[in-house]
Copies of this chain bind each other. A is one copy, B any other.
Amino acid sequence: MTLSPPPLTDLRVSTRVSAMDESPRGRILQAAARLFGSRGFGRTTVRELAAEVGIQSGSLFHHFKSKDEILEAVMVEVIELNTGRMLAALAHACDPLERLRVLLRCEINSITGDTRRAMSLLVNEWNSLDAAAQARVLVLRDRYEKLFLDAIADAANSLVEVEPFILRRLIYGVHAGLRTWFNPDGALSRDDLVELVMQLVSRKAPS
Contact = CB atoms under 8 A, between A and B. Distances in A.
Interface string A104-130: 000000000000000000011001100
A120 to B, nearest CB: 11
A166 interface: yes
B205 A204 contact: yes
How many copies are assembled? 4
A172 B162 contact: no
Interface of A: 39-40, 42-43, 123-124, 127-128, 160, 162, 166, 169-170, 172-178, 180-181, 188, 196-197, 199-202, 204-207
Contact of A177 (B127, B173, B181, B188): B173
Main secondary structure of the interface of A (DSSP, over half): helix
Given A166-B188, A172-B177, A199 B127 contact: no
Given A123-B180, A162-B196, A169-B181, 17 more contacts: A39-B127, A40-B42, A40-B127, A43-B128, A124-B124, A169-B177, A169-B178, A170-B197, A170-B200, A173-B174, A173-B175, A177-B177, A199-B204, A202-B204, A204-B204, A204-B205, A205-B207
Contacts of A205: 204-207
Contacts of A196: 160, 162, 166, 170
A166 B169 CA distance: 19
A42 B39 contact: no
A199 B199 CA distance: 11
Contacts of A204: 199, 202, 204-205
